[in-house]
Structure 1
């Protein structure tokens, strides 16, 4: 989910001389928290967000509804900066706001041409322009692991996370993220999470399928993913630690909003990065692959990328020939008169 970084109080806000100082707030908030008033500076007397500059990171994840709410909440004279990588997967919700604004060229644009360094940066930069290049990786920054079938894909993935990556790369299992195209199937997130739990945190799953210590992702609202761990459970619900913050998920919400998190889809992984990433491409994944999917999944790795590869030529074909799926959007039409004027 995109982050909203708020900077600076409103210069026109009048404060009585004997009024207590305003409560301090973190300059960083999630968009959902900002709009709900649970995070950020809150709203002024007119109902607008009490700020004069808003920087939204991971802006490609803004769907049309959230983008509309955000812009409508800004006070007159406020500045809005949208930042993000146009090559990643689009928002879970409808629209392609960031891409439409870039195409319309109705506001100033600043493009960074500096790729990430090293073999991983070279690989991901090539994918962004439709080229799947072989890169020199003397430090095992990129490793390809061919597999013949689903069973071997699951076995090799678990082996990489539990043994090979910690031993050869020095990245422990808790800092390694598995990414696969879907939730279902023989090599989806459900199957991979079950296999990884069995090795990394076995247990009876007595709390709705979860045990203390399980790695999870919590989705408080559609499209927002919070990684965390299970702490305990009681009459209140499932207690999680997400980024060091305590979160309680009511019992009736656990099944629909909490999943195991050793393995994620690329959509769930957007906006995050890990020291090591294992991308799993089973034979039946060929139809799900596109350039944005591969770019997003491979780009989540900071130090090491392992690719469990069972799709043969479908991978370079997807990178070269399969762009993002088109979306129906009226935003370019609505922006066109402004361009003409």
Structure 2
């Protein structure tokens, strides 16, 4: 790379406050077609050769570009220019046009053909190529077919430039690449005709961003497209944020009218139109109209139908045979099953669908072990599954049998032919297993339960296990509670705490909390501790001290790697956002030996613990043994191993899976030194620290407290005020979710 003089290194500054460079692309060193990231050599107006890096979609040698950005120093490659914004131009003089056409950027044109085109048409060459391909065919060496192909390729390049110019004001370059990949040269026309197609079809574009574009384009506030998109957006938002599968029509109308600033009558008409177009579904029950999106409607009805079918067609075992199996299992295991445990085993063997619920220490795992042994002795193939990787790992450890995530069981991926990832086990490719046991079912939402049921063959047994008193799933639905409430399936609730579990204050206090009683906070030598602190500042300081000094010093590796802070809220001095900054500063402070990258005011540093906060079904990962797959899911926790600023990537290890993240994907991650109770579901940690500060009263609920406490394997440490403990124990308010599963179950015969 050429040396730079001081004036050139500064570069001209323009009105957007960044360095501006112009020139032609001399060489494309690297280009990623998926996200547009590229590394190129740029020949500048001052004849210096500059290495530029950044999002430069569809860049080609010979392209004339103006780029805005800043100078950076790459430890390996030296000075580089990091592009924040780029703009392509077509060359205007014959020499530049010849160089552009001769660079190979237009398929079908090499240096010789380029020279003939320029000789024939001069500065009109580009107009001829685009609009008169038949004239182009008059040139020696260009057939009519080749001329048409060249013209289409040229128009395609023009479409890319047009899209980049049009969308850059509203979306980033990576999102623009996605838009162009979807609609090609028609992308701008699609956006102009209906901007809301963008939020329905393009990952990363929500209603608000599409709406800003629509309003800028002059679309009327009461246009049918806007009203329809706003209604669907509100349904989706309520599913993601509140877990609602459907909404009462009146509530949907009122909410959408407020969101859109439109009359309720117009919104109601838009809903009717969507129902008529079969894009929304409606159900009338108990004098209330409920509105569903189409997929949620189909999933919920399918769950009811398939569960009913499984329960009907299963072979019923003889009672005497079951009793013999249980007695033999008791002899071989040396365990005398309690009355309810025996009833659970009977129910699982007598029924196609069985629900098993109960709190910690009540023997659910003992029942699972017994069923595994009995199914095995019957020659039945069994699958163990759980919603998250951590829950599956814990299930494997407790049963000494392989357990998989539901996604892995259903073979989530792109398939042999590639393409968009999907569940490869489904109605046309059923699971082989004769019995499926699903643990931590309170975390399973409607969509995942429907996907699982689609893959289970008729005649197979399904055992659904979970703690109904924990928080419901993050996704839409309340499957476990709805199934229990329906009364349609064999159900056993285990409530006896066994002797070994009785010695644990975690277990006895969890049950006390669940029954509305205060936990014991005065015991000093067990596994449940309370550290009283008056102010939020003291609470945060104590949590930081526990995690950085006291626990590591006392418990070694378990006190370092086995600690998880679980907070009731995100906001405030004792919320996860503030605690993550504080804990990062003491557990993984900045160092010249650790690379870091700041994204939307969040500092990501090598060595940081991070959590995936949305499902990414397509993200590629691999293991050290060479196995690979797709999908990192909401709640997965990993560690940042490497940050590469030059490639704009970071590598994260999730248990034994390694995944690479482009910097533009970092909105899918957040720090995980402290996590909310919802995000902790399905996981267990050796030591759990729970700060109880000034969170909103609505967040301080009994089932939230119970869920947090039951995440701990060896120790719980409460830090805060005793009145907050009492508030949570006494607050039995549970947020209601709009679901229809009980109704569908009652209607299916």
Cα deviations by residue, 1:178-227 (Å, 9 ceiling, x for unpaired): 01122232222121111111111112762342122111112350872111
CA shift, 1:114, in A, is 4.4
CA shift, 1:263, in A, is 0.5
Alignment of 1:189 with 2:579, yes or no, is no
Alignment of 1:124 with 2:497, yes or no, is no
Tell me the equivalent position of 1:22: none
Tell me the equivalent position of 1:103: 485
Alignment of 1:59 with 2:435, yes or no, is no
Alignment of 1:8 with 2:8, yes or no, is no
Give runs of aligned pairs for residues 37-186 of structure 1, distance below 5 A: 37-38=412-413, 43=425, 46-115=428-497, 116-117=501-502, 118-134=504-520, 137-168=523-554, 171-186=558-573
Contact 1:100 1:332 in 2 (8 A): yes
The TM-score normalised by the length of structure 2 is 0.40
CA distance in 2 between partners of 1:172 and 1:93 (Å): 32
Tell me the equivalent position of 1:313: 723
Give runs of aligned pairs for residues 176-255 of structure 1, distance below 5 A: 176-203=563-590, 206-208=596-598, 209-221=603-615, 224-234=634-644, 235=647, 237-254=649-666
CA shift, 1:69, in A, is 2.2
Contact 2:569 2:695 in 1 (8 A): no
SS at match of 1:210: strand
317-326 or 131-140, larger mean C-alpha shift: 131-140
Compare the two structures and name the one with the higher helix fraction: 2
CA distance in 1 between partners of 2:561 and 2:719 (Å): 19
Cα deviations by residue, 1:237-267 (Å, 9 ceiling, x for unpaired): 221111122122232111x211111100001
CA distance in 1 between partners of 2:724 and 2:515 (Å): 17
Between structure 1 and structure 2, the one with the greater Rg is 2
Distance 1:224 1:297, change over 3 A: same
Contact 1:60 1:90 in 2 (8 A): yes
The TM-score normalised by the length of structure 1 is 0.83
Distance 1:101 1:86, change over 3 A: same
Cα deviations by residue, 1:14-49 (Å, 9 ceiling, x for unpaired): xxxxxxxxxxxx95322233345349x953892333
Distance 1:189 1:201, change over 3 A: same
180-189 or 289-298, larger mean C-alpha shift: 180-189
236-245 or 129-138, larger mean C-alpha shift: 129-138
SS at match of 1:322: coil
Contact 1:207 1:238 in 2 (8 A): no
Cα deviations by residue, 1:62-94 (Å, 9 ceiling, x for unpaired): 112222222123222222221111111101112
Tell me the equivalent position of 2:243: none
CA shift, 1:230, in A, is 0.7
Higher relative contact order (CA 8 A, sep 6+): 1
SS at match of 1:224: coil
Tell me the equivalent position of 1:13: none
Tell me the equivalent position of 1:270: 681
Q: How many residues align?
A: 316
Distance 1:210 1:296, change over 3 A: same
